[in-house]
Amino acid sequence: MKRNRLPIFLALVPTLGIVPTIVSCSYKTAYLDIEKISRKYLTRLTGNQVASLHNSNKIFYFLDGNQKVYFDSAVFEDNTIKLIHNKHTSIFNIDFPIQKYWKQEISNLDNIKVIETNEKSNINDFFNVYDFNEIDDANGFNEQWFSILASKFNYDFDRVGDPYFADIQTILFRLIQDGNINYSYMNKRRMINKDNQNVLLKDYFTSNYIQAKTFLSNEYQLQRELFESFLCLYLNKFNVGISRIEIDWDNAREVKSFSGNSSYIAIKFKGMYDFKNQNILNNENQEKTFYINDFRTYATDQKFGVGNNGLKEELPLFNEYIENPLLEIDGKQYLNIVDNINYFIKGVTSFEYWNTKGLMSLFQNFKDDFFYIKVPENKKDTDVSYKIIDFKYTDYLNTDQLIKAIVRVFKKDKSYKDYVWISSNFDDHGHRLKAKIINNKREEDLTINDFYYYKKDNIAIPAGISLNEFLKPSSNYPNSPYEILLERAFNNLNLSYSYWNNDLRENYEANWVRQDSFQIKLLTSFLNNYLLSYALENKEGNVYSGVKRIDLEILDNQTEIGRIKLRMKFMSYANEQDFNYKTEGERILKEVDLYWNGFKGFDKSISSHLVSIIPEKGGEN
C-alpha cells in the first residue's frame, strides 16, 4: 500500500531495560522521595519519562542537614538520571528496571505498528491536524477514532498490546480516557507512594467531572499544569526528549460537541522544550489546533444535565471544588440509611421513591444529623470541614426533579466559602428524583403516563389535582390515594421500636410527643413524600405553584388519652420564583385536623385505624 505522511503512533508494551544499580553522586547524594512515588510505578516508565516526571513533580532530593531539598531539574543521560541544583550535578544511578522507548514503523504486514527501540523520534512529526467533525465523531480513544485514522492515512493500525499512537490528538484522547477509567500511566492504584497513597494525582481533575470553562478559570491553574505534566509523560514513551510542554491556555477556548452532551477545549502549543530547555517545536506546529475532550456540560438532558438552558447558579459548584464528592447519609436511629442518595431511588411508581418535597422536608429537618462529606487528602492542609447549611428547590428540567444543597467549606484560616451542589451530583449516578403524579390514582393503578417527568420536547404540565378532589373522603376508609398514603405515612412510625424508647408505641404516652420531637419531624417528611407525590393545585404550565409543603402541628391541650390531635397545613408557594423551603408570603391553602391513634391507653373501640380524620364542620363523617 502506498505510504502517506503519517503520525508516529505508539503502543503500550512493557519491557525491562536497565538492571538495578546503586545510588551515587558527584555533588550531593540523591534520593528518590518514596513519600511521593514508589519504584513500583517508575518501573513502568522510560528514562525520559522518569526525568520529565521529576521536572514537573520533584521526586528526587538531597539532604541539607535534616531537610529535604529537591533538585531543580533532571536529565536522563547514559542510563542515569543527572540531577541539577544551583548548577551542581548529582547522579542517581537507576536502581530499578525501566522500559524501552517506542517508535512507529510500517510493518511487513503493511500496517502501522509501534516497536520497542531506543531510536529517537521527532516531536514535530506528531502534529497531524484533524477537522473538528472528525474529532467530534469519535470524541475519544475508541473504534471510531481508529476508523478515522485508517481512512485518513490509508493504513490499518496494529493495536495488539493496547497501544496508543505518536500523534498529538491520539495521545490527548488516550490521556483523557486513561484518567477517566484509572488506567495505564494514570492508574491511581499503581501511582502510589510507600504507604500505598496516591500523591502525584491527588489534585488532578478528570475532564468528565468538570466544565471546560471551569478548567480554564484562574483557580484551576494547578490542574492545567498537572495536565501538561502527564501529557509530557505520555509523549516521552517515545524517545522525543521532552522535558516539559507549554500549552497556550490564555487563548484556549471551549467548543461544544454537536450533540450538546459534552464540551472540548481547543488548544495550541506554545512549545515543546527539550532537556536543555530549548523549544524544539517549529513555528508551523505552534499554529495547529488540538482538542481536549469529554468535559462535562450541564446544558443537556442527558445524565447530570439540568436541561438545555444550563446552570443558573451564582455560587460555584461544590463538585468542581472536590472531584466527584459523595454525600454520605447516615439515618442513625431515624431511618435505615447506610450509604447515600441511592436509598431514596426506587421504581418509578413506588412511593418509596422520594420526591423533592419529601426530601426537602427530611433533609431540612435532619441536615445537622444525617450528612457527612469527607475532606479529601488534597484539601486536608487547607480545609477543616464541610457542612450543608441549606437545601433549595430548583426549576431545572421544569419537572421538580432536582434540588440543591448549599455547602459551606470551613477553612483552617477561619474563613469559609459557600458552594452549590445539585442533587444529581450527590453521587456519580446522576439520579433524578421522583416525577409528579398528575392523575388521582392509587399506586396499583399508576402507569408511566400518569407521571410528569423530564423528556425532550415536554409539553407543559397540566393543571394539578384540586385539594378538594384529593382530600375527598371515601365511603370505605382507607380507600382513596390520600387515605391509603396517610395510613402508610403513620404506619412508618410503627416500624421501629427505637422511635418509642425501644418498646411498642402502644406503651408510649401521647403527651411525651412534642412539636419539636423527632417523631413529628419524621412523620412530616413521610407525609410530604407520599401526599405531595401528586401535583396538587398547581397552575397549568407551572410546576412551581400549588401546594409547596405540608406542615404538621400538634394542637396543644387537645391531646386525649392514647391519641394526639394534629393539624396538617397545606402551604402555598410565596411566588413563582420561590425555591426556599420556607418563605415569607406563603398562604395556607387547606387545613385538615386528625387524630393519631394507638398510644398508651387508647380505646381501640374508637377506631381500628392509625388515623382518624376529623371532618370539616358541615362535612361528611
pLDDT top residue among 337 and 419:
419
Tell me how crowded residue 294 is: count the other CB atoms within 10 A of its CB.
22
- What confidence tens digit (pLDDT) does each residue in 121-134 have? 999 999 999 999 99
- Ramachandran area for residue 87 (φ above 0: left; ψ -120 to 50: alpha; else beta): left
Q: Is the pLDDT confidence value at 532 over 80? A: yes
- What confidence tens digit (pLDDT) does each residue in 553-612 have? 999 877 689 999 999 999 999 999 999 999 999 999 999 999 999 999 999 999 999 999
User: Are residues 604 and 566 part of one domain?
Assistant: yes
Alpha carbons 291 and 7: distance in angstroms, whole number:
16
| Residue 415's pLDDT band (cuts 50, 70, 90) | very high
Q: Would you give the distance in Å from CA 439 to the centre of its chain?
A: 34
User: Are residues 149 and 50 part of one domain?
Assistant: no
- Residue 501 burial by CB count (10 A; 0-12/13-18/19+): exposed, middle or buried? exposed
- Answer yes or no: is 301 within a domain: no
Query: In this structure, what C-alpha cell is assigned to residue 533?
Result: 407525590
Query: In this structure, what C-alpha cell is assigned to residue 560?
Result: 386525649
Query: In this structure, what C-alpha cell is assigned to residue 269?
Result: 502549543
* Residue the block writes with cell 450528612: 371
Tell me how crowded residue 380 is: count the other CB atoms within 10 A of its CB.
12
Q: In this predicted structure, what is the pLDDT of residue 16?
A: 36
* Residue the block writes with cell 538492571: 19
Alpha carbons 534 and 570: distance in angstroms, whole number:
13
Q: In this predicted structure, what is the pLDDT of residue 11?
A: 37
| Residue 457's pLDDT band (cuts 50, 70, 90) | confident
Helix axis angle for 221-235 and 168-181, nearest 10°, is: 120
Using DSSP's 3-state secondary structure scheme, residue 411 falls into strand
User: Are residues 214 and 84 part of one domain?
Assistant: no
Domain finish residue from 93, 120, 138:
93
Q: In this predicted structure, what is the pLDDT of residue 617?
A: 63
User: Are residues 168 and 87 part of one domain?
Assistant: no
Average pLDDT over residues 251-264: 96
Question: Helices (DSSP H) in 343-475: which residue ranges?
Answer: 356-366, 467-471
- Answer yes or no: is 254 within a domain: yes
Radius of gyration for the chain, computed over Cα atoms and rounded to the nearest angstrom: 32
Q: Is the pLDDT confidence value at 4 over 90? A: no
Alpha carbons 371 and 165: distance in angstroms, whole number:
46
User: Are residues 445 and 412 part of one domain?
Assistant: no
Q: Give the count of domains, the chain.
A: 4
- Answer yes or no: is 311 within a domain: no
Q: Is the pLDDT confidence value at 353 over 90? A: yes
- Answer yes or no: is 251 within a domain: yes
Q: In this predicted structure, what is the pLDDT of residue 108?
A: 86
- What confidence tens digit (pLDDT) does each residue in 99-111 have? 999 999 988 888 9
* Domain of residue 221, residue span: 101-296
Domain finish residue from 425, 452, 477:
425
- Answer yes or no: is 362 within a domain: yes
Q: In this predicted structure, what is the pLDDT of residue 19?
A: 34
Tell me how crowded residue 542 is: count the other CB atoms within 10 A of its CB.
16
User: Are residues 231 and 325 part of one domain?
Assistant: no
User: Are residues 106 and 89 part of one domain?
Assistant: no
Specify the DSSP class assigned to residue 538.
Answer: P
User: Are residues 499 and 608 part of one domain?
Assistant: yes
- Phi, psi (rounded to 5 degrees) for 64: -115, 95
| Residue 456's pLDDT band (cuts 50, 70, 90) | confident
Query: In sequence order, what DSSP letters do the residues of 307-339 get, joined into one string?
Result: -TT----SSPBHHHHTTS---EE--TTTS---S
Residue type, 128: N
Tell me how crowded residue 202 is: count the other CB atoms within 10 A of its CB.
15
- Answer yes or no: is 25 within a domain: no
Alpha carbons 28 and 90: distance in angstroms, whole number:
6
User: Are residues 529 and 467 part of one domain?
Assistant: yes
Specify the DSSP class assigned to residue 615.
Answer: P
pTM of the predicted model, to two decimals?
0.90
Query: In sequence order, what DSSP letters do the residues of 248-264 get, joined into one string?
Result: -GGG-EEEE-TTSSEEE
- Answer yes or no: is 543 within a domain: yes
- Answer yes or no: is 11 within a domain: no
User: Are residues 287 and 166 part of one domain?
Assistant: yes
Query: In this structure, what C-alpha cell is assigned to residue 457?
Result: 420536547
User: Are residues 405 and 542 part of one domain?
Assistant: no
Residue environment code for 401-440, b if the CB has 16+ CB neighbours within 10 A, otherwise e: bbbbbbbebeeeeeeeeebbbbbbbbbeeebbbbbbbbbb
β-sheet with 262-267: strand ranges across: 253-256, 262-267, 290-296
Q: In this predicted structure, what is the pLDDT of residue 12?
A: 35
Domain finish residue from 93, 109, 125:
93
User: Are residues 245 and 340 part of one domain?
Assistant: no
User: Parallel, antiparallel, or unpaired: how do β-strands 88-93 and 80-85 relate?
Assistant: antiparallel
